Amino acid sequence: MAYINMSCGQTFLSYTALRRMGQQANQPIYYPAYFETEEKTVEMLKKIYKTDNEVLIITGTGTYAIEMGLRSTFEEGEAVLVINTGIFGAVAKSILEIIGVTPVEFKVEYGKEVDIEKVRDIIKKNKNIKGLYVVHDETTTGAMQPVEELGKLCKDLDIIFAVDAISSIAGVELETDKWGIDLCFGSAQKCMNGPQGIASIAISNKVYEKIKNRKTEISSLSLDLETWRRYHEIKVKKYHQWWKTGGEEPKFTARAPHEVSLPATLVWGLQGALEDILSEGMEKRIKRHSFAGKAVRNAMDALGLERVTKDEKLVSDVVTVVRLPKGILERDFRQYMLEKYLVALGNGEIGPDNVRIGTMGISASPKYILPTISALGNSLKHFGAEVDTGKALKEAHDVLCAFEF
Ligand SMILES: *Cc1c(COP(=O)(O)O)cnc(C)c1O
């Protein structure tokens, strides 16, 4: 079935990603073609993260990257201030609890902006706080947080700055180095349009310095940044060299007789996805998302649906979250949209009364936005709401016409 995937958990796969995964079929891992693919993929990721820091690709979805970063950087007895903007902020709090690091929660109302001065006061008063964690684009509410300003704060106070950029990377502006992000988490399957199951982290030297000074050993093999650093340095780069020159075999056995591997097929897929991103160009891509997001927002307003994030300064261009009219449950609504129109929306993470419209990479296009609005308007009508779908379509169309997609 040719679904229109406007969800925000996993998006359309880029055609180059699909082709690369096909090319990979039956090619062995740990031979030159794989080494080259991986090295190239890391270099492309650095361009997208806008960083000269180390970037590691890791096995697992975005959540694995977050847990790995937090588990490796912080240890028992330390605290991290978590800005809780929605479900993904709350996930970080849970991860910290699980790994024995104290979360200091700073709650922000859904769709609202964090008060930086209050955050500064809390950190100044608690010397145990060694890091600040924020979700750049809270995918469950559609609100962005001021990462650049928070980065300045962390620099002033000399603490680690960790950012969940999983849904923002490759969709909206993100400047890892300029904004002073020490740990920046991304995943392949959101705005990158890559395969699900592979994530990445940009890591500053400050993080590695902190890890060097840990009092306790990291209680994990595969969720240890150093393990993955060895993987890339030894099992890929040194093995690649060894393949060409011979000599002594590089050792890849620091904490276990065999450490970790990446899923080769997914690395090939990610490479393809990144090729598409860079051939479009980040500047154009970000602009495209801004038109797509604006078109969806205007259409939702025309349908009379309440947006969870209303402040123009905070709205995300890659996800729009709206409340459904009273009495309509998001599950029933999404089920109807899928069965009747083959349109998949994102579920309501913050309750049964809302749905999310993702405009992530490929789906940030009139080709998918216009039929989605049409289906959404008709579905509202089916559930008894009085809406003007034609007006919503016109609003979106007017915005989309101003950009060359
Ligand atoms: C999707 C998402 C996650 C979770 O990532 P998975 O790849 O599903 O593990 C975390 N944070 C944000 C902001 C997300 O959008």
Label residue 343 by pLDDT band (50, 70, 90).
Answer: very high
Instruction: Indicate if ligand 1 lies below 6 Å from the C-beta of 167.
Output: yes
Q: Are residues 270 and 363 in the same domain?
A: no
Is 25 part of any domain?
yes
**DSSP letters spanning 26-70:** TPPSSSHHHHHHHHHHHHHHHHHHT-SSEEEEEES-HHHHHHHHH
The three-state (H, E, C) secondary structure of 351-399, written as one string: CCCEEEEECCHHHCCHHHHHHHHHHHHHHHHHCCCCCCHHHHHHHHHHH
Domain termination residue (choose one: 255, 279, 303): 279
Contact 299, 372 (CB under 8 A): no
Query: Is 257 within the bounds of a domain?
Result: yes
Rounded CA separation 186/51 (Å): 13
| Distances from the Cα of 80 to the Cα of 165, 216, 279, angstroms | 18, 17, 38
The closest of 144, 132, 140 to 104, measured between CA atoms, is 132
Residue 188 lies in a domain: yes
Say if 3 falls within a structural domain. Answer: no
- Please indicate, yes or no, if residue 8 is contained in any of the structural domains: no
DSSP summary character for residue 21: H
Residue 381 sits in the same domain as residue 240: no
Q: Could you tell me if 312 and 273 lie in one domain? A: no
Atom of ligand 1 nearest to the CA of 139: 15
Q: Which residue has the tokens 């039956």?
A: 26
Is the model more confident about 267 or about 23? 267
pLDDT of residue 263: 95
Query: Distance between CA atoms of 348 and 332, rounded to whole angstroms?
Result: 11
270 and 349 share one domain: no
Q: Note the pTM of the prediction, 2 decimals.
A: 0.98
Residues 363 and 396 reside in one and the same domain: yes
- The letter for the amino acid at 191 is C
Question: Could you tell me if 239 and 322 lie in one domain?
Answer: no
4 inside domain: no
325 and 219 within one domain: no
Which CATH number is 55's domain given?
3.40.640.10
CB 70 within 8 A of CB 92: yes
User: What is the per-residue pLDDT across 251-305, written as a single tens digit (0 to 9) for each?
Assistant: 887 889 999 999 999 999 999 999 999 999 999 999 999 999 999 999 999 999 9
Which residues lie closer than 8 Å to 376 by C-beta, 6 or more apart? 303, 337, 343, 345, 357, 392
User: Among residues 375, 371, 369, which one has the least CA distance to residue 387?
Assistant: 375
Tell which one of 7, 58, 59, 63 to mutate to probe ligand 1, the residue whose CB is within 8 A of the most ligand atoms. 63
Percentage, residues of the chain above pLDDT 70: 100
Q: Is residue 6 part of a domain?
A: no
Q: Is the CB of 24 under 6 A from ligand 1?
A: no
| Domain contains 1 | no
The string over 279-306, giving b where at least 16 C-beta atoms fall within 10 Å of a residue's C-beta and e elsewhere, is eeebeebbebbbbbbbbbbbbbebbebe
Integer Cα distance of 236 and 242 in angstroms: 10
Query: Residue 107, SS3?
Result: strand
**Which of 150-154, 246-250, 275-279, 392-396 is predicted least confidently?**
246-250
What's the pLDDT score for residue 207? 98
Domain count, the chain: 2
Residue 197 region by backbone torsions, left for phi larger than 0, else alpha for psi between -120 and 50, else beta: left
The mean pLDDT value for 154-164 works out to 98
Using pLDDT thresholds of 50, 70 and 90, give the confidence band for residue 220: very high
Q: Nearest-5° angle of CA 30, CA 223, CA 225? A: 75
Angstrom distance (rounded) from CA 311 to CA 315: 6
- Substitution site in 8, 59, 61 for ligand 1 pocket (most atoms within 8 Å of beta carbon): 61
pLDDT on residue 326:
97
Range of the domain at 69: 14-279
CATH number of residue 306's parent domain: 3.90.1150.10
- The C-alpha angle 247, 248, 250, rounded to 5 degrees, equals 125
Q: Which ligand 1 atom is nearest residue 63's CA?
A: 9
**pLDDT exceeds 90 at position 1:** no
Strands laid side by side in the 198-203 sheet: 54-59, 198-203, 183-187, 160-164, 129-135, 79-84, 102-107
- The pLDDT score that the predictor gives to residue 325 is 98
The verdict on 307 and 347 lying in the same domain is yes
Statement to judge: residues 323 and 381 lie in one domain? yes
What is the per-residue pLDDT for 253? 79
Which of 258, 279, 300 represents a domain boundary (last residue)? 279
Q: Residue 135: CB within 6 Å of ligand 1?
A: yes
Nearest CA to ligand 1 atom 15: 167
**Mean pLDDT, to the nearest integer, of 55-76?**
98
- pLDDT for position 320: 98
Q: Tokens 């709650």 map to which residue?
A: 107
Domain ends where: 279, 303, 332? 279
Report the nearest atom of ligand 1 relative to the CA of 88: 11
Q: Are residues 134 and 273 in the same domain?
A: yes
Do residue 292 and residue 351 come from a single domain?
A: yes
Tell me which of 88, 163, 320 to substitute to probe ligand 1's pocket, judged by most ligand atoms within 8 Å of the beta carbon.
Answer: 88
Answer whether 17's CB lies under 8 Å from 37's CB.
Answer: no
190: Cα separation from own chain's centroid: 6
Q: Say whether pLDDT at 106 is over 80.
A: yes
| Average pLDDT of the chain, as a whole number | 97
Query: What local confidence, expressed as pLDDT, does residue 26 receive?
Result: 83
pLDDT at residue number 168: 98
What is the distance in A from the centroid of ligand 1 to the CA of 86?
A: 12
User: What average pLDDT does the segment 360-377 reach?
Assistant: 98
Same domain, 185 and 292: no
- Residue that wins the pLDDT comparison between 26 and 149: 149
Ligand 1 centre to CA of 331 (Å) is: 20
